[in-house]
């Protein structure tokens, strides 16, 4: 058990609909990451929040949005769903462990993943 909770585990919906995925991070973790995993695209970074603020954005579509609430849980909202949005959506939390290695800034923080939310769009 990673300590990260994602709900729902499975979701089946129709094209054009909107869904919300929820993530509760490990106790004490301030960073939350969202990833999309599909067979042909691997694990794609969507967005990261740190203590309620957006910190980094990856390949997130404009139809998708996310937020992190004061209690640190996060929600990923997917709207105007298309068939191609069918995938496993993972949330991960971490404590940033920043340091240096030579001239590089490194983050050795471990990502703790939830079990994922499997979205099927029909």
Rounded CA separation 31/50 (Å): 4
Whether residue 2 contacts residue 112, with contact meaning beta carbons closer than 8 Å, is answered with yes
Does 108 participate in binding other proteins (rule CB under 8 A)?
Answer: yes
Write the binding mask 77 to 106 for other proteins: x where contact by CB under 8 A, - elsewhere.
Answer: -------------x-x------x-xx-xxx
Question: Which residues neighbour 62 within 8 Å (Cβ) at sequence distance 6 or greater?
Answer: none
Binding test (CB under 8 A) with other proteins, winner from 7, 15, 17, 59:
59
- Partnered with residue 40 across adjacent β-strands are none
Rounded CA separation 60/57 (Å): 7
Binding test (CB under 8 A) with other proteins, winner from 23, 25, 35, 85:
35
Does 26 participate in binding other proteins (rule CB under 8 A)?
Answer: no
Question: Contact residues for other proteins (CB under 8 A)?
Answer: 2, 4, 33, 35, 41-45, 48, 50, 55-56, 58-59, 90, 92, 99, 101-102, 104-108, 110-116
């Amino acid at each position: 058990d990673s300590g990260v909770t994602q709900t729902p585990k499975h979701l089946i919906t129709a094209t054009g609909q909107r869904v919300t995925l929820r993530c509760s991070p490990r106790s004490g973790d301030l960073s939350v990451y969202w990833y999309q995993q599909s067979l042909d695209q691997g694990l794609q970074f969507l967005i990261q929040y740190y203590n309620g603020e957006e910190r980094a954005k990856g390949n997130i579509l404009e139809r998708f949005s996310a937020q992190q609430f004061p209690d640190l849980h996060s929600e990923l909202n997917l709207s105007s769903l298309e068939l191609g949005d069918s995938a496993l959506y993972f949330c991960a939390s971490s404590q940033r462990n920043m340091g240096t290695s030579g001239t590089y800034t490194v983050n050795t923080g471990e990502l703790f993943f939830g079990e994922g939310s499997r979205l099927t769009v029909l």
